[in-house]
């Protein structure tokens, strides 16, 4: 009995297996075939491991950046990139993140069923990021165990139900359709912008009419734009740090500009790997969640 309990504890404390288990449960509830269930579970499991691998890339490139930034400006730098930071946080808070994500989805369905806000939040990566953020905040606040998952799930469920509702009046104006809603972490900001635009904007003008140079269309590729952006940032920091310090302390003799570009590329590679893993996870979990919610929410 103790051996069985130990195995269950190991499963619950291993985020990759836990997330895969959640996907399998969702597929079972949808009465999918055994082939779909096996495929979904394995792809979700591998997807989480891919996210972890990407996190290692990101961490390895951010460590020298932090050292250079502190040396150059005598302050601690911050890289505001969701994918990178969440992937790093998942290594420590992965189990709580997975459980809060599951609880948040269930509470979202419950709130949508018992209230007039019939919104099911299907933006999976945003749900994952918010679940991770809530897990970190509640953990450092002193909560743990069941209470952390409960309060985290309720908070996420409320956010995922209310956020689309806040923006819906403006979404209807733009889409001329009340059958779809926007689910994103920026909903509050979008609604605030819409209110400002209501009084100071001009409906006759649209961003769609802006002539964006075709030669810059390559910037739409996130890997390219991240590499270029981080390349510039890394080079600026490296220049202020100085070639002597970088080559002696960090790069092992490699020129500081070359080293900066290499680390920028490693950061972009890490983000690319993380996004691939996230897509693999959500490709299995979100459809299951959508299918279940359609059956439970009128």
Among 202, 162, 205, 201, which residue's Cα sits nearest to residue 184? 162
- Does the pLDDT value for residue 113 go beyond 60? yes
Question: In angstroms, rounded to a whole number, what is the distance separating the alpha carbons of residues 214 and 217?
Answer: 5
Residues whose CB falls within 8 Å of the CB of residue 184, separated by 6 or more in sequence, listed in order: 123, 126, 163, 190
Taking the mean position of all CA atoms in its chain, how far away is CA 274? 9
Question: What are the residues whose beta carbons fall under 8 Å from the beta carbon of 255, sequence distance 6 or more?
Answer: 243, 247
Per the structure, how many domains does the chain have?
1
Given this model, what pLDDT does residue 266 score? 93
* Tokens matching residue 230: 């981080």
Only one residue has tokens 């051996």, namely 3
What's the helix, strand, coil split of the chain in %, to 5? 80, 0, 20
pTM for the full predicted model: 0.77
When pLDDT is cut at 50, 70 and 90, the band that residue 7 belongs to is low
pLDDT of 253-263, one tens digit each? 899 999 999 99
The pLDDT tens digits for 220-261 are 888 999 999 999 999 999 999 999 999 998 988 899 999 999
Closest CA to 265 of 240, 291, 230: 230
- Report how far residue 157's alpha carbon sits from residue 155's, in angstroms, rounded to the nearest whole number: 5
Is 87 in contact with 54 (CB distance < 8 Å)? Answer: yes
**Residue-number span of the structural domain to which 239 is assigned:** 2-205+213-296
H or E segment and range at residue 143: none
User: Residue 121 and residue 111: Cα distance in Å, rounded?
Assistant: 11
pLDDT of residue 201: 80
Cβ atoms of residues 123 and 76 within 8 Å: no
């Amino acid at each position: 009995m103790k051996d069985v309990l130990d195995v269950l504890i190991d499963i619950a404390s291993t985020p990759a297996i836990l997330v895969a288990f959640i996907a399998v449960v969702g597929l079972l509830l949808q009465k999918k075939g055994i082939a779909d269930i096996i495929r979904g579970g394995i792809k979700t499991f591998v997807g989480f491991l891919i996210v972890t691998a990407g996190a290692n890339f990101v961490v390895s490139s951010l460590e020298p950046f932090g050292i250079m930034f502190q040396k150059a400006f005598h302050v601690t730098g911050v890289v505001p990139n969701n994918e990178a930071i969440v992937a790093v946080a998942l290594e420590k808070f992965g189990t709580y993140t997975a459980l809060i994500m599951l609880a948040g989805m269930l509470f979202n369905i419950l709130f949508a069923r018992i209230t007039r806000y019939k919104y099911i939040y299907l933006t999976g990566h945003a749900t994952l990021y918010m679940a991770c953020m809530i897990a970190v905040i509640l953990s450092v606040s002193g909560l743990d165990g069941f209470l952390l998952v409960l309060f985290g799930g309720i908070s996420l469920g409320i956010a995922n139900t209310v956020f689309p509702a806040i923006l819906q009046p403006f979404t209807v104006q733009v889409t001329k359709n009340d059958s779809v809603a926007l689910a994103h972490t920026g909903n509050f900001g979008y609604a605030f912008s819409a209110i400002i635009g209501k009084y100071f904007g001009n409906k006759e003008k649209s961003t769609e009419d802006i002539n964006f140079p075709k030669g810059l269309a390559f910037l739409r590729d996130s890997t390219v734009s991240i590499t270029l952006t981080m390349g510039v940032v890394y080079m600026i920091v490296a220049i202020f740090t100085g070639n002597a310090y970088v080559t002696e302390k960090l790069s092992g003799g490699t020129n500081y500009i070359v080293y900066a570009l290499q680390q920028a590329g490693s950061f972009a590679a890490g983000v690319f790997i993380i996004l691939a893993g996230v897509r693999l996870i959500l490709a299995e979990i979100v459809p299951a969640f959508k299918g279940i919610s359609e059956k439970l929410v009128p």
